[in-house]
Chain A
Amino acid sequence: MSDDHEPTRPHLRVVSEETPPPSQANDALVIGSAIIAALCGVGFAVGLVLETSIAVYGTALALGLLALGFGARRYFSDLFPDIEAVEPRHPEQDADDEPVAAIAPLERRSVLRNALIGAGGVFGVSLLAPVPSLGPAPGDELKRTDWRRGTRLVTTDGEPISAENVATGGVATVWPEGSINNEISAVILVRVGDARFRQPTNMEWIVNNELVAYSKVCTHAGCPVGLFREQDNALFCPCHQSTFDAVRGAIPTFGPTARALPQLPLGVDEEGFLIALGDFTEQVGPAYG
């Protein structure tokens, strides 16, 4: 380690220095990487303009940047001596106690300052008033869906469903006729196999003792409850694995949800198509405060 205090570096306290000798090998590396980088740069531009694939021009871009970086590193490591220097930290300097402002306020009643600060505070709070304009008041929107007495169940393509159309052990995503893709109204229609419905399933709201409909909006965080496990008639939400028993009123049997899926009152109209007998009687979807 050479201790260098030459006056040629008055602003930097150098503690060690190593001067690399000029190196033919290093020069070759610098020039070589510069050439590769330039060729890759051109290759990237030409490849892109000629609409080759991303594999071609992307690789050119990557190699070019890496080569340029390598060349820059080789160049700088050879261009300057390798220096270690120190800089003083000045920790725990004596606190500067003089006030920042050169001009101090005169003696005045403090109620003046307090009044203005108070008014500023009141105004600051008032300026939050535009926030409710960002969206409508919730009103009834979270309490009702588009299901009404007599609304037909339709598929996402708009086809009404007759009681025979659902495969045994199958599920179907259905919507109120006229409100397809209305997220809060999504319903999952289940045709259970030989299992018997039990409490708390509402027996007046099932069809042919095998078709039952529940809200598809998970009562945990709102994902669509789309999966059905036939062996235990479990409706399963893929987001956080909330599990509901389809023959027992969709009560939660596992997972983070605390509330059953609301059951849709299900019936059949004169033409044999499935209809709702009314809106849900419980809150649909996740809990809100």
Chain B
Amino acid sequence: MTPLFGKLFDQLDERLRLRTDARTAANKVFPSNWSFLLGEVALFSLVILVLTGTFLTFFYRPNVEAVTYAGSNPVFAGRTLPAAFESIVRLSSDVNGGLLFRRLHRGASHLFIATVVLHMLRIMLTGAFRRPREVNYFVGIGLLTLAFGAGFTGYSLPYDSLAGTGIRIAYSELLSLPLIGDRVAFWIFGGAFPTGDVIPRFFVLHVMVLPAALLGTVGLHLFIVYRQKHTQFPRMGVDGHTLVLGKPLWPLQFAESTTLFLWTGGLLAATAVLIPWSDVSLLGPYVPGEVGNNAQPDWFLFWLEGALRIFPPIEFGIPGTFIISGPFVAGVVLPGLIFTFLAAYPFIEKRVYGLEGEWHVLQNPLEIPLRAGVMLGVFSGLLILSAAATNDILSRMFGIPIEAMTWFFRVAVIVVPVVLGVGIARYSRGRLRRRGLVVPTSEAEEQQRYIAA
């Protein structure tokens, strides 16, 4: 601590009595592993999103009335555009530094969602969801949902042709809800698509409601980690059940986080130079009745888009009153089932293996057959669905008719997850057998491998 910081701290300490709590925090121990940094990178991306996003809100116009663009971009010079799209073109082409902020914001949004997903994978693969961390696991699933919501509303705001198409599909998904679909769609959109209300409402969600929810939920997420202490990988000679071994928060973990934050910022700035994130001039403004080819949403929704594409044609019920349609099953029921299953997984694993007590040491998923099978099965399925979202691009690339491509994915999404899931579960059981192990039911039992009994 520099002398100045020391004096500042003393002044605050005299008034707030911080010393004891600060000491406890400074001496908290954090285990080391590269995969533990994924959540941190997500947090830093969120901070960068808020900072760059604030700058963007000073220029973005949240409405779709027709205005004439009078700036320097030659593609749109003199054209009549929706105000939201025009403000993005103006920010990118006529505001000094505007393009940098746009690209940093878009790049950070991709990094945010990617690291949230990777962090979730790490939690699920290593079993950090086991008691007592089930609550934080649910908080994490909530964060994933909020992140998806922020991403979708965010890339819809420029009201370019892909954004408008995505909004139309979201509207159709709401319409597909049985019994209440038409009313719910009109409430959320303020009328029949396209209304002048949807962009202002998405703006409020993206700029106020979702960031507040995200920041509050992240705070809760971190508080729970602070209270429960971080999990750790097993280590010979260390009883991870009663001790956490690692670096103290001050100075070493603080130093690592500081470096990571600066490098995350540097990496995002580098991508902002090299990659033209969200170049809306390639897409043009949304025009009703028109959509370009290659109509895909952002990558994190590919799994949903793929499901919509390969789902077989179904529609039954009473039209206008109670309808079960393909978009409802593929776009509402299926995601609901996937999220519910992922949320329930800790309790499924507990029941299957008769787990007891608290768990603070991470496990190798290859030694837990159910987890290995479920994880590989579910996520290979999600990857295949994501690939199915590009079936038109693949069809053109490989010269395979689109019908054959679609049937390939319809079959693959069933067969591959089952084969891979069952395969790796069998491998895992064989591995346990070869090493003379079973799935431990308590951490004390598991720790026997690492400490003298």
Contacts and interface: CB of A to CB of B under 8 A. Distances in A.
A163 to B, nearest CB: 22
A31 interface: no
Interface in A109-130: none
B33 interface: no
B262 A68 contact: yes
Interface string A271-289: 0000000000001011111
A69 B262 CA distance: 5
Interface string B279-303: 0000000011111111100000000
A246 to B, nearest CB: 17
Contacts of B315: 258-259, 287
B173 A221 contact: yes
Contact of A65 (B244, B263, B308): B263
Contacts of A84: 245-247
Interface string A197-238: 000000000000000000010001111101100000000001
Nearest to A60: B269
B365 interface: no
Interface stretch (B135-143, B248-256, B342-350, B411-419): B248-256
Contact of B295 (A68, A69, A239): A239
A54 B95 CA distance: 12
Nearest to A175: B289
Given A85-B248, A89-B242, A138 B186 contact: yes
A133 B55 CA distance: 32
A36 to B, nearest CB: 12
Contacts of A147: none
Given A15-B245, A183-B194, A136 B186 contact: yes
Contacts of B96: 48-49, 51
A226 B289 CA distance: 8
- Residue of A92, A216, A224, A287 with highest tally of chain B CB at under 10 A: A287
A134 B190 contact: yes
A237 B260 CA distance: 45
B288 A138 contact: no
Interface stretch (B122-130, B212-220, B319-327, B366-374): B319-327
B313 A252 contact: yes
A175 B23 CA distance: 71
B229 interface: yes
Nearest to A253: B403
B243 A286 contact: no
B373 to A, nearest CB: 29
Contact of B169 (A69, A181, A222): A222
- Of listed B165, B229, B291, B312, residue having the most chain A CB within 10 A: B291
A42 interface: no
Contacts of A51: 96
B193 interface: yes
Given A83-B248, A141-B192, A256-B308, A239 B319 contact: no
B190 A62 contact: no
B314 A258 contact: yes
Contact of A58 (B100, B261, B320): B100
Given A65-B266, A239-B295, A257-B313, A286 B172 contact: yes
Contact of A256 (B192, B243, B309): B309
B182 interface: yes
B177 A289 contact: yes
Interface in B145-185: 165, 168-169, 171-173, 175-183, 185
Contacts of A239: 165, 169, 291, 295, 308
A284 B328 CA distance: 17
B188 interface: yes
A158 to B, nearest CB: 14
Contact of A135 (B191, B317, B358): B191
A91 B122 CA distance: 23
B330 interface: yes
Given A48-B97, A135-B189, A224 B273 contact: no
A173 interface: yes
A256 B392 contact: no
Nearest to B309: A240
A171 B358 CA distance: 66
B195 to A, nearest CB: 8
Contacts of A186: 288-289
Contacts of A223: 165, 168-169, 291, 295
B448 interface: no
Contact of B262 (A54, A72, A132, A138): A72
A238 B178 contact: no
Count chain B CB atoms within 10 A of each CB in A66, A69, A77, A227 and give the residue with the most: A69
8 contacts: A54-B100, A61-B266, A69-B261, A83-B248, A86-B244, A137-B183, A241-B391, A257-B326
Given A62-B269, A216-B289, 15 more contacts: A11-B27, A62-B272, A63-B266, A65-B265, A87-B243, A135-B191, A137-B186, A175-B289, A186-B289, A221-B169, A238-B295, A241-B391, A259-B315, A289-B178, A289-B179
Counting from the closest, the 3 A-B pairs by CB-CB distance are A69-B262, A76-B255, A65-B266
